[in-house]
């Protein structure tokens, strides 16, 4: 359960019908868990390096594009994505699972990207590029 909560991912708990009367051993760390997530501190040097590399790639790009996946939903970061897209003026696609991570009525929203089966930008039905 802690992992489901920590990773903000779906989980599955199953108790078989022939086991409902059995006593289930529960790990001590789960019994003592206070219900809060305790994340390890990120390595500040690595975070800064990754941020600088990402900024350099965006700055070097002639027409940057953002592609948002399910993690935007999982970590409740949609408003950060909107801020970034607006500051960059970059169009945003979402993956199938990330659909809805970016407001569909936003002028920078370009639709769902499904890899090689997505239509080229100049052939989009809605006329946006």
CATH superfamily, with its number, for domain 44-123? TPP-binding domain (3.40.50.1220)
Instruction: Say which residues have a Cβ less than 8 Å from residue 16's Cβ, sequence separation at least 6.
Output: none
Exposure string for 77-105, b = 16+ CB within 10 A, e = fewer: ebeebbeebeebebbbbbbeebeebbeee
Q: What is the pLDDT of residues 62-94, one digit of tens each?
A: 889 999 999 998 888 999 999 999 999 999 999
Distance CA 97, CA 38 (A): 27
Question: Which residue did the predictor score with more confidence, 101 or 123?
Answer: 101
Confidence of residue 118 (pLDDT cuts 50, 70, 90): confident
Which pTM does this prediction carry? 0.64
Q: What is the pLDDT of residues 3-31, one digit of tens each?
A: 777 777 788 777 778 877 888 788 887 77
CB 93 within 8 A of CB 129: no
* Residue 68 backbone zone (phi > 0: left; psi -120 to 50: alpha; other: beta): beta
pLDDT of residue 1: 66
Domain-by-domain residue ranges, the chain? 44-123
């Amino acid at each position: 359960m802690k992992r489901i909560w920590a990773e903000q991912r779906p989980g599955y708990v199953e108790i078989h019908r022939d086991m409902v009367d059995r006593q289930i051993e529960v790990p001590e760390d789960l019994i003592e868990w206070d219900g809060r997530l305790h994340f390890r501190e990120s390595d500040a040097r690595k975070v800064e390096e990754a941020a600088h590399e990402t900024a350099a790639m965006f700055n070097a790009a002639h027409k940057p594009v953002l592609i948002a996946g399910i993690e935007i939903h999982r970590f409740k970061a949609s408003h950060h994505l909107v801020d970034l897209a607006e500051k960059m003026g970059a169009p945003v696609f979402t993956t199938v699972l990330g659909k809805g991570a970016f407001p569909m009525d936003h002028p920078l929203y370009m639709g769902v990207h499904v890899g090689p089966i997505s239509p080229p930008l100049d052939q989009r039905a809605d006329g946006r590029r």
